[in-house]
Amino acid sequence: MALSQKEIEDLINSLIQKDEAETKPQIAKPRLRVYDFKRPDKFSKDHLRGAQLLFDNFSRQLTSHFSALFRMAIHAGVSSVDQVTYEEFAQELTNPCCVGIVNWGDLPSNMLLSIGMKVVLPMLDRLCGGGGTSPGVSRSLTEIELAMSKRIAQSIVDIFRDTLREYRIDARDLLITTMEVNPLFVQQALPPNDMVLSVSVALRFGSQTGTVQFCLPYTLLEPVLPAFSASRWFSRGRRADEDKGEADAVANALQDVEVPLSCRLGQALLSVEDLLSLETGDIIDLAMPKECYATIYVFGKPKFVAKIGRTGGRLAARIVGIAEDGEEDLIP
């Protein structure tokens, strides 16, 4: 059976189109991701895991510190770690509030520490000799209470600083500069759309429950963000040779550091009356034998036993032994 001219042309065209379709390069479709310009992610999941580990350790230390300070059953634990806008963080503050503005050395921004009113008032009651109970109503703090709450907040910041040092993050100059009780003033501390790391620590103070919240702006953490990584901490923990190298470097750097050293031959106790009546030429009995040994103090702590003598026309002390543990030197 013979094909017509039209059927032959249709067959040829179909073959040509099939060949072109096979040789045409396949262009991969681009993968699109939704990007929120109002709330862009600044912290990776690794950073959030690192923050969780760090604040877990911080919470354990805070539990021990507060239990000893207030002499009652206290427990702290991380309840949430998230990145939010500063506006979202500020909107959660109560009125009145108890917020400390924390300066972090030379870093370009400030950290905020919020202590819930449900726990700060019982804390103040406990420090003033009460049982640590809540007044029942939320009220603003007096000037004296604000000064006391600043000391409480600074103790929390000090524990946070020590925790950072354990993870090799420099935090030498963490200092609370001001305390705020009005959330409207706190809202003006940072631009509303700035991303912050918000960490909420649940605090159980006796029968009262509340929160201690940290607000760590991205602009503050950006210089130290590489150290704020869970994977980095785990990897460094397995590299003992690197840790030893750093320890050796620190030891070498300390070789030329000058340390205060003092020598005490004896001591005496005087009444205030005798102290006020001292004059030139008076003799003070040190209650020590003539041939006694002196104690050498380093950083105010007894370290060596020495014999007093002269060398080159100057008084000198020759070390003859190691001092036993004793009281620290209170004389500057």
* pLDDT tier for residue 124 given thresholds of 50, 70 and 90: very high
pLDDT at 151: 95
- pTM for this prediction: 0.61
Mean pLDDT, residues 292-306 taken together: 86
d(CA 21, CA 259): 83
* pLDDT tier for residue 60 given thresholds of 50, 70 and 90: very high
Is the CB of residue 99 less than 8 Å from the CB of residue 222? Answer: no
The residue whose two tokens read 């999941």 is 45
Above 50 in pLDDT, residue 328? no
* Chain segment 174-193, per-residue pLDDT in tens: 899 999 999 999 998 889 99
Is the CB of residue 146 less than 8 Å from the CB of residue 182? Answer: no
Q: What is the largest CA-CA distance in the chain?
A: 143
Q: Kindly report the number of other CB atoms within 10 A of residue 304's CB atom.
A: 19
Mean pLDDT, residues 243-264 taken together: 72
pLDDT at 214: 97
* Chain segment 4-48, per-residue pLDDT in tens: 777 777 777 776 665 555 555 556 666 666 656 666 778 888 889
Is the CB of residue 74 less than 8 Å from the CB of residue 205? Answer: yes
**Which sequence spans correspond to the domains of the chain?**
45-236, 260-268+285-332
**Which amino acid, 65?**
H
The residue that leads in pLDDT, 10 or 68, is 68
DSSP annotation string for 93-153? --SS--EEEEEETTSSSEEEEEE-HHHHHHHHHHHTTS-----SS--PPPHHHHHHHHHHH
In angstroms, the first-to-last Cα distance of the chain is: 120
Above 70 in pLDDT, residue 253? no
- Fold assignment, 45-236: Chemotaxis protein chec (3.40.1550)
